[in-house]
Chains A and B, each alone.
Chain A
Amino acid sequence: MTDLIKISKTIKLFIGGEFPRTESGRSLPVYVAKTKKLYAYLCKASRKDLRNSVTAAQSAQAGWAARSAYNRTQILYRMAEMAEGKREEFIETLMSTLGYTKIAANKAVNEAIDAFVYFAGFADKYQQMIGAVNPVSGPHHNFTSSEPVGVVALICNSKFNLGEVVAQISAVIASGNAVVVLMAEAGAATLAPLSEVLATSDLPKGVVNLLTGDLNELYQHLGTHMEIQSLSYQGSNKKILGELKEMAAGNMKRVIPPINDMLSLDHLVSYVEYKTVWHPIGN
């Protein structure tokens, strides 16, 4: 057999469970690491794409939160299974676009799978660790439980780390939030295998939305969007973090600064709200 020309995958966005191109028709070239050889053209998402993603996340969130914790656990575990099946594609992308060695790429995929499994196991347990039955003085049953905060915008660190991105997405959705992820330009080509993992894990459409684009062009639109309840900034630019905190005041978004311990209860709990319910005890 003669060598045929390779069919490369068109890497698009992931919004509402679909794979659209950016409505803006703009693209971002990604090169093979340390060369000028084109690897692929990614989508350069626009403000409109971002707003569509928030709408998709918003419509998906209540249904996702209404799923049983057990079901969210199974779906997160399913993601680990699907990621395992896509190991070769992740490795190829990491090696080609970021210049990882095979060993490093393999390790990165292991970390991503670990993160899916870790939060799969947490989705039906954190409630008991952070909830409470409160011993109020008087004849009332009083309990505190947690709820997802709603729609979370996640701005990834420009220093790409697959395991961290997966941990961040998993921590956000484990409690029933929906998320719009703005991926860093470096490593953005992993959107292709990652979105396919998400799309084939029985995750309801719109719970996770992945965008690639120019952070500097888009972060303000996330900061000021009124339908986003929480803004997670995982980058290291203090000025951007400050600006986001300022913009967040518009609708009192909860701003989550960089998380230190990716695989932890604290990470998951960054994206919940506490609700306390009172009911009288008596006749």
Chain B
Amino acid sequence: MLDTESKIVNFEYAPSIEAIDIVRIEPKNKLFIGGKFVEPTSKKYFASINPATGEPLAQIADANAKDVDLAVKAARKAYNTVWSKMSGKERGRYLFRIARMIQERARELAVLETLDNGKPIKESRDIDIPLVAAHFFYYAGWADKLEYAVPGRAIQPLGVVGQIIPWNFPLLMAAWKIAPALACGNTVVIKPAETTSLSCLLLAQILQEAGLPDGVVNVVTGAGETGAAIVSHPDINKIAFTGSTDVGRLIQKSIAHTDKRLTLELGGKSAHIVYEDAAIEQAVEGVINGIYFNQGHVCCAGSRLLLEESISDLFVGKLKSRMEKLRVGNPLDKNTDIGAINSATEFGKIKKLIDSGIEEGGEFFEPSIELPKKGFFQKPCFFNKVSSAFSLSRVEVFGPVLTISTFRTTQEAIMKANDTQYGLAAGVWSEKGSKIHKTAAALKAGVVWANTYNKFDPSSPFGGFNESGFGREGGRHGLFPYLSIK
């Protein structure tokens, strides 16, 4: 028998680097309030870096409570005088126009996203930005059809909405938040994450060019204090937050004694079940995509792999050899599978959790691939043979770290999958239809990917059970959080 492994020439990928001259980054980035880019009253700026090199990209305005107040005032004025009075048809036209302009500037947005976030260009180019445009398209069409959204009920916009979004899908999260809010007739004050403000500010520029009335969308950049100023502002009618469960809890508590509406899209520790009758090669790809997509910075990452005992050795072996082929490195290289960890803070957090996992036990594996010398890069890794009590089985890592354990029966798989306070997503692999349906129905999760993973679409509702938050984004269900239903 031929030793095929050694006969196959190891083809190295030549670097194929995306040009960055399409992007012009302002050295100093102001706030976007009332349709204009304005200096923060705080006069303060902070640096945003390129996580793949550690070098500074730009200075970003640090909005304080006064700036947030100005933004809310601009949003309220736009709501009262323009946006709530405009017909749905006209609002829809703005949103369609914005969607088109995003498509026209897609490459620029993708490169900027990769520079600021560290995610691979093939992902920002093929997934994030196309979905951003698709989201605006989808909700544009709803704007003049809202009377069909909740049959038999009168609906109204809520007013001014405060939105706080994370750094893992910066522009996509902005689109998930802004598009349905505007379609329903609300005006927006949005805060991007402090490490990834740039694409949201470029979106602001697009909104300005699209002629969106002043104040309909306001972008205030900054960190936790800016977010807190939004949450506590008395003239905001609703808070929409995507981020960690800890912060979500704080927000829920802090507005408990107000009438503010709230939707939370929080963390997860999603289970990924592979039955012995799965299409194994496809399942391996699915598991890899489930946990290592976007460096594992995904709230719905399939971070707990549950393997049927009979296939576990085979499957783990295949995972290892697949992981040896993953290309970790320069996010601008079109061949890169895993880019840079977004910030020093996250990088440190992931390292610490891996170290504590190694201390706790479980069989640790990471591939022997090489990492770039500069920037925040982390090898994808897993811990095999862990128990449910293992801290990495319970804590959200938000990085490329997988835990693996086994089960013997469908009941055991379901029980283990549901053994978490979270409930955002889950995956299941089997070629047997009835088993897929039984498992999907029993999983306590807002999204179940069967024989696939990490798929997103503007028409498909997304959101969690239990401590993964409440409210849905996407689809008709994604309108409800932005409507008052009479």
Q: Which residues of A contact B (CB under 8 A)?
A: 129, 132, 134-138, 140, 142, 144, 149, 229, 238-239, 242-246, 248-252, 254, 265-266, 273-280
Contact A138 B455, CB 8 Å, known A252-B264, A274-B477, A276-B448: yes
Q: Closest approach, in angstroms, between the C-beta of B465 and any C-beta of chain A?
A: 5
Cβ B457 vs Cβ A134 within 8 A: yes
Q: B450 near A: Cβ within 8 Å?
A: yes
Cβ B460 vs Cβ A276 within 8 A: yes
Q: Which residues of B contact A (CB under 8 A)?
A: 134, 151-153, 245, 248-250, 252-253, 255-258, 264, 266, 421, 436, 440, 445-452, 455, 457, 459-463, 465-470, 472, 475-477, 485
Cβ B477 vs Cβ A252 within 8 A: no
Chain B residues with CB under 8 A of A138: 455, 457
Cβ B457 vs Cβ A249 within 8 A: no
Chain A residues with CB under 8 A of B477: 132, 144, 274
Chain A residues with CB under 8 A of B468: 252
Cβ B450 vs Cβ A242 within 8 A: no
Cβ B466 vs Cβ A249 within 8 A: no
Cβ A280 vs Cβ B446 within 8 A: no
Q: Closest approach, in angstroms, between the C-beta of B157 and any C-beta of chain A?
A: 18
Chain A residues with CB under 8 A of B459: 134-137, 142
Cβ A279 vs Cβ B452 within 8 A: yes
Chain A residues with CB under 8 A of B449: 277-278
Q: Closest approach, in angstroms, between the C-beta of A15 and any C-beta of chain B?
A: 25
Rounded to whole angstroms, the CA-CA distance of A250 and B466 in the bound complex is: 11
Chain B residues with CB under 8 A of A266: 153, 485
Rounded to whole angstroms, the CA-CA distance of A132 and B479 in the bound complex is: 14
Cβ B461 vs Cβ A144 within 8 A: yes
- Is chain A's interface secondary structure helix, strand, loop, or mixed overall? mixed
Rounded to whole angstroms, the CA-CA distance of A277 and B450 in the bound complex is: 7
Q: Closest approach, in angstroms, between the C-beta of B326 and any C-beta of chain A?
A: 23
Measured CB to CB, the nearest residue on chain A to B150 is A266
Contact partner of A142 (CB less than 8 A), chosen from B245, B451, B460, B476, is B460
22 sampled A-B residue pairs with Cβ under 8 A: A134-B459, A136-B455, A137-B457, A142-B459, A144-B461, A229-B466, A246-B257, A248-B256, A249-B250, A250-B249, A251-B466, A252-B245, A252-B467, A252-B469, A274-B472, A276-B447, A276-B460, A277-B447, A278-B448, A278-B450, A278-B455, A278-B460
Rounded to whole angstroms, the CA-CA distance of A277 and B463 in the bound complex is: 12
Chain B residues with CB under 8 A of A134: 457, 459-461, 475
Task: List the 3 shortest-distance A-B pairs measured between CB atoms, nearest first.
Answer: A242-B257, A245-B256, A136-B457
Chain B residues with CB under 8 A of A149: 465
Chain B residues with CB under 8 A of A265: 152
Rounded to whole angstroms, the CA-CA distance of A265 and B463 in the bound complex is: 21
Q: Closest approach, in angstroms, between the C-beta of B450 and any C-beta of chain A?
A: 4
Cβ A279 vs Cβ B476 within 8 A: no
Q: Closest approach, in angstroms, between the C-beta of B276 and any C-beta of chain A?
A: 19
Rounded to whole angstroms, the CA-CA distance of A132 and B148 in the bound complex is: 14
Measured CB to CB, the nearest residue on chain A to B472 is A274
Measured CB to CB, the nearest residue on chain A to B255 is A245
Cβ B450 vs Cβ A252 within 8 A: no
Contact partner of A140 (CB less than 8 A), chosen from B249, B436, B448, B455, is B455
Measured CB to CB, the nearest residue on chain A to B433 is A279
Cβ B445 vs Cβ A249 within 8 A: no
Cβ A132 vs Cβ B476 within 8 A: yes
Contact A276 B461, CB 8 Å, known A249-B252, A252-B248, A254-B470: yes
Rounded to whole angstroms, the CA-CA distance of A277 and B264 in the bound complex is: 20
Listed residue (A135, A242, A277, A280) with the most chain B CB atoms within 10 angstroms of its CB = A277
Contact partner of A249 (CB less than 8 A), chosen from B253, B257, B448, B476, is B253
Cβ B447 vs Cβ A273 within 8 A: no
Cβ A280 vs Cβ B457 within 8 A: no
Contact partner of A246 (CB less than 8 A), chosen from B256, B450, B457, is B256
Chain B residues with CB under 8 A of A135: 459
Chain B residues with CB under 8 A of A239: 257
Q: Closest approach, in angstroms, between the C-beta of B415 and any C-beta of chain A?
A: 11
